[in-house]
Amino acid sequence: MSIDSPWLVGRSIVDMTPDVKGIGMLGYGNPNNYVTGVETPISCRVLWIKNPRSNKQVVFVNMEICFPTQSIRTEVEKMIKEEWHLKEEDLVLTTQHTHSAPSGYTHYALYSMSTPGFCQEVLDCYSVAVVKGLKKAFESLTGGEVFFKKGCFAPEVPVAFNRSMKAYNRNIEIHVPMKIEDQNLAINREMTMLEFRVDKSPWASINWFAVHCTSIMWRNQLISPDNKGYAALYLEKYLKKEGVEDYISAFAQGDAGDVSPLYQVPYWKRFFPNKVDNEFTNARANGRLQFEKAKEILGSEGIEVKGDIENEIFYRDLGNIKVDPEYLPEYLREKEITTSPSSLGIAFLKGAENAGIDWPLELFAISIARIIQIFEVLVTSLMNSKRAIQVRRKYKAQRPKNIFVESGTKRLLGTDYVMGLILPSIVDPTVKYFKRMHKEGGLREHSWTPQIIPFQVSIIGSKAFIMLPFETSTMSGRRLKKSSMDILKHRGIKEIQLVPYANQYAGYITTPEEYTAQCYEGGHTVFGKWTLPAVQTVLKELLNEMLLEEEDRSLDKSIQPPVFSESELKIRKFSPHNY
């Protein structure tokens, strides 16, 4: 390993395709979206950057699965045990968010509902692939240069569209509402890239661009990395033809919370039959657009990254954050605003705005949710003080959401006696799954979705990478970058790259204005209306510490995620479909 170069860089690609037939895929929550075969294998790509003088390093792992989980991170950390001097804060686990890869690898019950259940085989497959990728990338470390580059898609390129215009138009930044035809403009059309060069030649890269990997829809039963996976394969194949052997390119995700690869047709058109194109063809076409842009960016000059590396990570309970008044509207700055334990709205069950016709039980479920809310608020005077405070806090934080699942406190439509729920199991697979799990004792431990989640930052020279365990909407991403830059500019940071879908998954971040629309993204913004200001509050704590010398920092790292017992996971074990 030469230390004459500014950096040591490493790369690897490892297959991570599980062989578990009948298991549900993760992303759509549709019980018919299960695995019968493989259209294109999914991969894990690793890019390693190390300063040979200080020995500080950061490793970007990008997996072609729906989202990362604490279970994967825990298994990986167990296996490596600080091998290669890799510390917890040095490792970044991200995904490109395909909805066509096997589920079952999370310990949290709600996100295993469509599997259905927990599957150790999938978790082992994914975790082992990451460790193999880390080993190969470390062994490949060699002297090289790192460049930061970016480019922008022209407006007419049909690569991405805002799927939630109703919510987007509510933002205070939008003075004149944008039309439905402007979906292509209501997104971040910029692609950013870190390129590794060895001996002045292309060697590896990772780029970030915001578009959901949902070109392939919920009817699919074949494993696929979707559009970003095809984009990576196209770029790697192109460079091989150009004489660049073993080039590795990760296509990572940006602020894609409200961004779809599909144009949203007018609502009335959804009620009429239309020709369904080959979804794999569509995914490849979208991937080719991303590939072409990445190829163009590779040919640009870029800015060489110089300096050193600093990393930090800590965990916070997002269900219990007092929001810094700085991030609130002026009329609320004198009040105490907090988040609440996670709750998912009925808008979450309906699915995304461009996903199809409304959920048939929507009106019934909304009626039940509102009756429960009225009842709970009316009887708070009869509750003990602790419970009354919890109820008031919940509705203050979550309104105007019509709450379906209180995943943080383990309640479904207002009751913790799930198997006695008024809704019959036949009406919805979520209800059926939770009734069965409650009866069998598989929902006793911890919350049903993550509450204690990681926040991580890596600074490489004058570039900062902020890792978030969420899907950020276009506008929430803009606000997060601005509030973060307001802090990090004081240590000379010139560029910030938000890295969502990192290390864990805790739903969406919408702006408070978008939240009030209660589209799908707002229904899945689980910690309530003030989730974005709460995340800004947590990042303020973390980033202010990054302004200090390492020895002067005093981050509280005592908060850690829960550990599920083997006995409960065994109860929720995946049982394959009968063929």
Structure tokens given for 555: 């981050």
> Can you tell me the mean pLDDT for 55-62?
98
- CB distance 329 to 171 below 8 Å: no
> Can you tell me the mean pLDDT for 142-166?
97
- Looking at 83-234, which runs of residues are DSSP E strands? 91-95, 142-152, 161-162, 190-198, 201-209, 222-223
Q: Which residue has the tokens 């959901």?
A: 212
Q: List, for residues 246-300, the tens digit of each pLDDT value.
A: 999 999 999 999 999 999 876 655 555 555 568 999 999 999 999 999 999 999 9
The Cα 561–Cα 70 span in angstroms is 8
- What DSSP designation does 452 have? E
Structure tokens given for 418: 């799930």
pLDDT of residue 5: 79
> Can you tell me the mean pLDDT for 307-335?
96
Which residues, at least 6 apart from 541, have a Cβ–Cβ distance to it below 8 Å?
Answer: 555
Among candidates 10, 16, 212, 204, which has minimal Cα distance to 96? 212
Cβ-in-10-Å burial (0-12, 13-18, 19+) of 477 comes to buried
Structure tokens given for 392: 């008031």
How is 21-52 classified by DSSP, letter by letter? TTPBBSSS--TT-B-SEESS--EEEEEEEE-T
The Cα 577–Cα 579 span in angstroms is 6
- Mapped onto helix, strand or coil, the DSSP state of residue 131 is helix
> Can you tell me the mean pLDDT for 15-31?
94
Which residues, at least 6 apart from 88, have a Cβ–Cβ distance to it below 8 Å?
Answer: 77, 313
The Cα 228–Cα 36 span in angstroms is 22
Average pLDDT, the chain: 93
pLDDT of residue 377: 87
- Looking at 436-555, which runs of residues are DSSP E strands? 452-460, 463-467, 471-472, 495-499, 508-509
| pLDDT beyond 70 at 135 | yes
Q: List, for residues 487-527, the tens digit of each pLDDT value.
A: 999 999 999 999 999 999 999 999 999 999 999 999 999 99
> Can you tell me the mean pLDDT for 457-475?
98
Among candidates 579, 578, 577, which has minimal Cα distance to 24? 577
The fraction of the chain above a pLDDT of 90, given in percent, is 82
| pLDDT beyond 80 at 426 | no
Confidence band (pLDDT; 50, 70, 90) for 115?
confident
Confidence band (pLDDT; 50, 70, 90) for 443?
very high
**How many CB atoms sit inside 10 A of residue 185's CB?**
12
Q: Where are the alpha helices (DSSP H) in 265-361?
A: 279-298, 346-350
| pLDDT beyond 90 at 355 | no
Which residues, at least 6 apart from 226, have a Cβ–Cβ distance to it below 8 Å?
Answer: 96, 98, 99, 100, 213, 214, 215, 216, 283, 287
> Can you tell me the mean pLDDT for 134-147?
98
Q: Where are the alpha helices (DSSP H) in 81-199?
A: 120-139, 165-168
Name the strand (E) or helix (H) holding 241: helix 226-241
Q: List, for residues 203-245, the tens digit of each pLDDT value.
A: 999 999 999 999 999 989 999 999 999 999 999 999 999 999 9
Structure tokens given for 371: 């009756």
| pLDDT beyond 60 at 3 | no
Q: List, for residues 160-211, the tens digit of each pLDDT value.
A: 999 999 999 999 999 999 999 999 999 999 999 999 999 999 999 999 999 9
| pLDDT beyond 70 at 558 | yes
| pLDDT beyond 50 at 1 | no
- CB distance 106 to 29 below 8 Å: no
Among candidates 450, 454, 452, which has minimal Cα distance to 542? 454
Q: Which residues of 61-83 are buried (b: 16+ CB within 10 A; e: fewer)?
A: bbbbbbbbbbbbbebbbeebeee
